[in-house]
Amino acid sequence: MNYRHSFHAGNSADVVKHSVLIALVRALQHKPGALTLIDTHAGCGLYDLGGDQALRTGEATGGVLRAFADADPLLDDYRAAVRAVNAGDAPRLYPGSPRILAQLLRPQDSLILNEKHPEDAAALRAAMRGVTAAIHERDAYELWLAMLPTRTPRGVVVVDPPYEQTDERARIAATLAVAMRKWAHGVTVIWYPLKDRAAHTRWKEQLRRLGIPKLLTVEHWLYDADQPGLYNGAGLFIVNPPYAFTQALPPLLEALRIALAPEGHRGAIAAHWLGGQG
């Protein structure tokens, strides 16, 4: 599945991913110790919702625009992050994970970004101008392991690939297994698209067999039944989420479900433990 960020900026997957990511980092920041934030597939950093690629899919209509039309205060932090890159209330630009993470930085925190595609890397550097961040142009899985353990005692690795390669899931599983041996206590967030439940169940079982003690999955299904051949939703695997985050997660997920459910569908979003916490 080809999932280039520029075609899907601001869709429902971005709303869930960035809402959860904001909540996760802020929960970790309850402690004053420094955090290293690493984005292995950073993309362009900033996207024009009025550009040709975004308009070709029109997915922002079912994502960020729905979130902005919803009044639930649990989505205020997400909306504030989007407003921060726009001159007015209506979102014209959409911040990718690098710009979201940059907004969350405290003076003691650091940000490491990586984007292998040369054109996207150049766009990323332009989008991050004025932000203190190390920007790399390397293989994402090589960089993921090279940066571990982080220089600070705590950190978050965000793995958000386009799933262009047929072996993407296998590479993620293999790299995560090595990463856990190097950095067992670290927090890792892995984004994935959902197309059919059977394939996803097989991948969950593969990750379950890694034996990670604290592995949470957040699954957001847009439709009440699979739509064959279509994008049906997206999810996140989260390794070692902090307690404060997991306790606050259910009401946030319910707010996201209500805001993003397509017309005529209730949708579903829930978090489940795959590791020993469940």
| CA 270 distance to own-chain centroid | 16
Return per-residue pLDDT of the chain as tens, 278 residues.
Answer: 444 676 789 999 999 999 999 999 999 999 999 999 999 999 999 999 988 777 777 789 999 999 999 999 999 999 999 999 999 778 999 999 999 999 999 999 999 999 999 999 999 999 999 999 999 999 999 999 999 999 999 999 999 998 888 899 999 999 999 999 999 999 999 999 988 778 888 889 999 999 999 999 999 999 887 666 557 889 999 999 999 999 999 999 999 999 999 888 999 999 999 966 64
How many CB atoms are closer than 10 A to CB 173? 15
Q: What is the DSSP string of the chain?
A: ----HHHHTTSHHHHHHHHHHHHHHHHHTTS-S-EEEEESS-TTSEEETTSHHHHHH-GGGGTHHHHHH---GGGHHHHHHHHTT-SSSS-SEEE-HHHHHHHH--TT-EEEEE--SHHHHHHHHHHTTTS--EEE-S-HHHHHHHT-S-SSSEEEEEE-----STTHHHHHHHHHHHHHHH-TT-EEEEEEEES-HHHHHHHHHHHHTT--SSEEEEEEE-SSS--TTS--EEEEEEES--HHHHHHHHHHHHHHHHHHPPTT---EEEEEE-STT-
Instruction: Write down the pLDDT at residue 228.
Output: 63
Active site residues: 160
pLDDT for position 278: 47
pLDDT given for residue 165 in this prediction: 87
**CATH class entry, domain 5-273:** alpha beta
Beta bridge partners of 218: 236, 271
C-alpha 134/C-alpha 39 separation (Å) is 10
Q: What is the pTM of this model?
A: 0.94
pLDDT of 2 reads 44
- Distances in whole angstroms, Cα of residue 231 to Cα of each of 10, 59, 122, 193: 15, 11, 29, 7
Residue 278 to residue 122: CA distance in whole angstroms: 42
